[in-house]
Amino acid sequence: MTSRHLFTIVTLFVLGVFGYAALAPSPASRPARFATEPSASASPTGPPPAYDVRPLVQPQGRYLGVALSGAPQDMSRVDRFADLVGSKPNIITIYESFDDEFAAAEVRRVHRYGALPIVRWEPFKAKLKDIAAGRHDPYLVEFAVAVRRLNLPVALTIAHEMNGHWYSWGAHDNTAKEFVAAWRHIHAVFASADATNVIWTWTPNVVNPVPSVKLAPLYPGDAYVDWVGIDGYFTRRGEQTFDDLFGPTITQVRKFTARPLLIVETGSEPGAMRRRAVGELFTAMRKRPDLLGFVYFNQKGSGDWVIDSDKPALAAYRSGAAADPRIGFRVN
């Protein structure tokens, strides 16, 4: 689809549904002015300026996040986790299928809590080449305009762990060019809708289990990415130290971008390894200026990552959070 057609689709949608057409410049640029608060007053000719995410992209503090089953629909689960670890998370994960409506209510709950929502957008039913070709543009436009209309900060991952082979959008069934084209096309739709209240978070899996898949060809480029996210888990049969688990991926990433790092999903299997893993996550955050934080996946999935009853791991978490005064800033 040409940029002219894309522009026309977005313009008509915004005019017809929301009554404004504040369209942004090219996806490689940012607007010159941003609102410092999402409640900025609308002008007579259009919506309020987009929420300024730049202070969140390069924050003074550090992020300490969590992914919990049933949250943020039920924020009491977040409160319970905060009580266990002695620190309120300031990132909370939201999972959305590519055919879901934008989770505006959940994003609003997370923001009211003082945290940044990170939306993991999963195209289970859409092929990357079809996304890139514009075949899903009506849905993309609707989603992007909903993000802009809510006008709260959102970190967005798209087709995470694309270097793996376990998802339909992974490297086994898609080329790097198809992934990059899909990412850039989505970015263009959001830019045309003025949805610049998004932190674009490109998120591969750690390279250890898929060493033959190189990350550089999968990278959309700095004009389309704000953060480099990484997913990686400490397992009994795999890597059990931070350097072994995340080091090879960071080494590859630093060959093609200096964008800040965020561990978007991590956890550890139970045992003595878990206490050490939690401690090393905090140590790495203190030692690495480019590591903005991590999100702990406190659920059962491919392994048992839940730390609720693991007293040594909880103690390591509490100690690590208390040792770094940059942790725990409120997102507002």
CA atoms within 13 A on the CB side of 76: 1
Backbone torsions φ then ψ of 301, nearest 5 degrees: -145, -115
Amino acid in position 144: A
Catalytic residue among 106, 178, 239, 265: 265
Rounded distance, CA 140 to CA 136, Å? 6
Rounded distance, CA 178 to CA 158, Å? 13
Assigned token pair, 92 = 């909370």
Q: Cβ(21)–Cβ(15) under 8 Å? A: yes
- Across the strands, what pairs with 263? 230, 294
Rounded distance, CA 73 to CA 78, Å? 10
Q: Cβ(184)–Cβ(27) under 8 Å? A: yes
- Across the strands, what pairs with 265? 231
Assigned token pair, 328 = 């725990």
Clarify whether 106 is annotated catalytic.
Answer: no
DSSP code, position 297: E
Clarify whether 265 is annotated catalytic.
Answer: yes
Backbone torsions φ then ψ of 63, nearest 5 degrees: -95, 140
Catalytic residue among 122, 161, 239, 280: 161
Amino acid in position 56: L
Q: Cβ(24)–Cβ(192) under 8 Å? A: yes
Percent helix, strand and coil across the chain, each rounded to 5? Answer: 35, 20, 45
Locus of tokens 């313009």: 11
Q: Cβ(177)–Cβ(128) under 8 Å? A: no
Residues assigned a catalytic role: 161, 265
